[in-house]
Structure 1
Amino acid sequence: MATVQLLRALFTGALTVASFSAQALVQDISAAFRPDPSNPMINEFVNVTPASGVCAWHIPTICKALGIFSIRTDYLRAVSNGPIRADHTDPRQGAMWKLPSEWRDVQVTHQETGDTDTVQFRMAGIGHRWDLQPRSWVWDRPFGTDNWRDYWRHAPLPCNSTGYAATALNWALFFWIVPENAGICNRVPTTEITSMAYSLTEYAYAIRTPNPLKMNAGQYTGTISYSVGPGGDLDFGDIMMPNDNVLTFNFILDVDHQLKVEVPPGGNRIQLEPQGGWQAWLQNGRKPSRLFRDQTVNLWASSHFKMTLECPEPVGNTCSVRNEAGHQVPLDIAVSLPPGLTDAAGRPVNRLPLLLDGSGSELFQPSMYVDRKPSTLHFEVKADAVAQMLEQPGSTYSGSATVVWDSEI
């Protein structure tokens, strides 16, 4: 009778949380990935940046449909450096907006390993609270003085309307959607504006995050900066002067993976037997052609990992069992993984040999969160070795092997 001891290794991805201190014209954008057993097919980052403004309070359904998020801040303000002329024809001489609405790549870097990945980011909407002198009726085109508010509810092309505006005699809050790669949006008064200020700025953004299943557990950070002011990435024209010339976004992506192995009670002690058990040999005299045992273990996995094999008494590139007299034969160990896990070439893993040099098992990668699915370890002493063992009657062969699931790749 041959027995083999199986040791298990468990790993749970650890999360280290850090944050950037808030500064004027600096905004943190935070996203997190944590496996969700109730939705194993949904493997995406969740934006956990505190929301404010219209997407949080006024038009959440529209924002969700567009995949955008809004932030309202008084860090970014602007004041006019002169009057805004009535019926001006140059958009730069009045109230205008040009945003960096195109997608831009941002490299994010793992804080411990130095691994990198890419976030895509764009600004997708703009709004303000504006205050002006004289009264708000300077905006009376094209709806007339009784409906000047609609002038701000309805966006000028290429911006798109949201239907949101809150107004009073000398101020208004508005918000417009800015499509990808949009040009200038502007408004022209019919009466000269003596002075104008943006006391609040509200912007929307969209973000595309990497595939978290291909990222290491931990925290990734990155930064992108936009120039603000005349001719900059974020441009309010030549009249409305911002209070600073740079707007910086810090990206913080937390990846909290799970890699866990559960061996059932008694499963770390493996007894190898021939097909049909030992009785077939004892009763019929039929010599066994091989000794084997399949051991099921439960697996949780949301990240890539590798598997390694360790043993105190190797034979070639695998482990072994031996008897009291020191006779040693190879013990072959293989693994089958559940659907949703593939090897480095994207193939299903079925009876893949585990070798001491690690070849072939250097990378397994998930296409979904594997939530407590059965995996099988296959233990076998093959026919040639069994024939040798039968030449040692009365012997008990034993040995130990350690199978390691390792997320450190």
Structure 2
Amino acid sequence: MIRHLCSTVARHRLQFGLGVLALLAGLASAQAADIYITADFKPDIDNSNQREFVNTTPWSGVCVGTHQAACINNNWWSIDTKVRGTKQGIREATYGPNGFYIGMPAPRTVRVTSEDGLHTFDLGFNIIGAAMRLVDADGDGPREPASSGNPSNCDLGLKNTSALNRTVMRMFLRRDGGDGVVACALHWISTNNYLITEFDFTYKLTTPAPLAMRSGLYTGMTTFRVGGTGEGADFDLGNGVALDDNLVNVHFRLDVEHAFQLDLPPGSDRAVLAPKSGWTQWSDHGIVPTRLERELPFALSSSGQFSVSLQCQHPLADGRCAIRNMTVDAEDAPLDIRLTLPGFHDAVTGADALGVALTTTMVPPVLTADAFVIRRPSRLHFAVNGEAVTTMLAHPGSHYRGDVTVIFDATP
């Protein structure tokens, strides 16, 4: 019998109230906003082209509503930082920090760690743009509080102005793709008090190669400081800025759920051993076969690592399984079991998974491939070899049998 086990990773979350309270008390002078970025890798065996993470972060910020179609078409993904505050704008014919101004940080590498703490991977996080919405706090300013011209150092991705409530929104897109530190500004803004009712950033996430990651949840975090010019902030909103929150904690959650499937042909639960050329040489000429064998073909699909182990109804001391004479009292016959998975190799040694001997005493090998393998023809080979065959034939008409379980664990 061949059995396929695909385990599910158990996920536990522990919360320690005292530790959290102590941390918050220590950060009382710097309020923090928490935002979450999520991505999944859940490949589909019937869609072999899906080999990368998919961004599953809910839409928020300027890309929601009116501008969502444009964001989707341009692969922009905005997220609202939840930062709110005020800005004292000063109209002047420069691209300086007194106007509509956003300075953006250089890219970062964020380390994500598996739930068990044993595996870490790096992801790249680039801020490729930012957006801000300003509302005339007193309602006494001009209908158009910001320049309609092109910004310095950046391109204008999205824009929206409401003359009725004296609101302006602009999305800046960096020309460097997020590779350095850059400041973007409009030519002028009216001299007035403004409410910052929204501050968003647009990002690019460069995820690890998911085929090298084991199934499970990976988390990480990075923190950005938001503030005014001269405050050493990662996001610089210019002069005259007062914010409710000046820290943004960006939490990352990567969920990896590898595809794994065995396609077994009918009758794969039974392996009848016989000489390769049949029993004629023995029955007609008395020639003892050197081997009784049977090969079971199957197809295997996998996008990640998996282990293989063996269980026996009749285990032998050397780790092999045996088949037992059910007719007379006789010596058990040892089985040699070998697994062949073309295209796969041992994740530790790099050895190709060709004719891998399976025993109950082995350390279960962890096997992997360099690509998403779909329905690869594979085989299990069962055999009784050498002197054990002669011993079996000393009891003609007997019936030997034994159960063998080959376990494929997709979460090794």
Alignment TM class, shorter chain as reference: 0.7 to 0.9
Distance 1:332 1:315, change over 3 A: farther
2:156 maps to a residue whose letter is S
- Partner of residue 209, structure 1: 207
Residue 292 of structure 1 and its aligned partner are, at CA, apart by 0.8
Select which of 157, 160, 170 maps to 1:162: 157
Deviation sequence 1:92-121 (CA, Å, 0-9, x none): 44432111241x222223335653333322
Counterpart pick for 1:313 among 315, 318, 336: 315
Contact 1:121–1:205 (CA under 8 A) maintained in structure 2: yes
Distance 1:138 1:377 in 2: 74
TM-fit CA distance, 1:160: 2.4
Per-residue deviation, residues 326-364 of structure 1 (Å, max 9, x unmatched):
32343111111254x3322555422222133325x5211
Matches within 5 A, 1:325-336: 325-336=329-340
What is the alpha-carbon distance in structure 2 between the residues aligned to residue 52 and residue 319 of structure 1? 58
Letter in 1 for 2:56: V
After superposition, residues 302-381 of structure 1 pair within 5 angstroms as: 302-311=303-312, 312-323=314-325, 324-339=328-343, 341-344=344-347, 345-346=349-350, 348-359=352-363, 362-381=365-384
8 Å contact 2:145–2:168 — kept in the other structure? no
How far apart are residue 13 of structure 1 and its match? Answer: 3.6
Contact 1:315 1:329 in 2 (8 A): no
The Cα of 1:226 is off from its aligned counterpart by: 0.9
Measure how far apart 1:397 and its partner are. Answer: 3.2
Number of residues paired by the alignment? 383
Amino acid at match of 2:382: F
> How far does residue 174 in structure 1 lie from its aligned partner after superposition?
1.4
Matched, 1:43 2:51: yes
Distance in 2 separating the partners of 1:53 and 1:92: 23
What is the alpha-carbon distance in structure 1 between the residues aligned to residue 13 and residue 205 of structure 2? Answer: 20
Change (3 A) 1:356 1:269: same
Provide the alpha-carbon RMSD of the alignment: 3.3
In structure 2, distance between residues paired with 1:94 and 1:83: 6
Asked whether the equivalents of residues 29 and 251 of structure 1 are also in contact (C-alpha less than 8 Å), the reply is: yes
Which of residues 31, 40, 48 in structure 1 aligns to 2:39?
Answer: 31
**TM-score normalised by L of structure 1:** 0.81
Give the aligned partner of residue 25 of structure 2: none
Alignment of 1:246-285 (within 5 A): 246-285=247-286
Report the counterpart of residue 98 of structure 1 in structure 2.
Answer: 103
Distance 1:92 1:252, change over 3 A: same
| Partner residue in 2 for 1:172 | 168
- Partners of 1:48 and 1:18 in 2: how far apart? 21
3-state SS of paired residue (2:388): helix
Measure the CA separation in 1 of the matches of 2:50 and 2:13: 26
Q: Distance in 2 between matches of 1:235 and 1:199?
A: 16
Mark the runs of 5 or more structure 1 residues left unpaired by the alignment: 1-5, 140-147
Q: Which amino acid is 1:400 matched to?
A: D
Output one character per residue of 1:26-63: Cα deviation in whole Å (capped at 9) or x when no partner: 21112122221332242222111111345455666765
- Structure 1 residues 192 and 19 mapped into 2: Cα distance closer, same or farther (>3 Å)? farther
Structure 2 residue runs of 5 or longer lacking an equivalent are 16-30
Q: Secondary structure at the match of 1:286?
A: coil
**2:105 partner SS:** coil
Q: What percentage of aligned pairs have identical amino acids?
A: 30
Q: Secondary structure at the match of 1:282?
A: helix
One-letter identity of the residue aligned with 1:168: A
Task: Specify the alignment match of 1:3 in structure 2.
Answer: none
Q: Do the aligned partners of 1:12 and 1:257 also contact (CA within 8 Å) in 2?
A: no
Specify which structure has the bigger relative contact order, considering alpha-carbon pairs within 8 angstroms and separated by 6 or more residues: 1
Distance 1:36 1:408 in 2: 17
Give me the whole-angstrom Cα distance separating, in 2, the residues matched to 1:38 and 1:54. 35
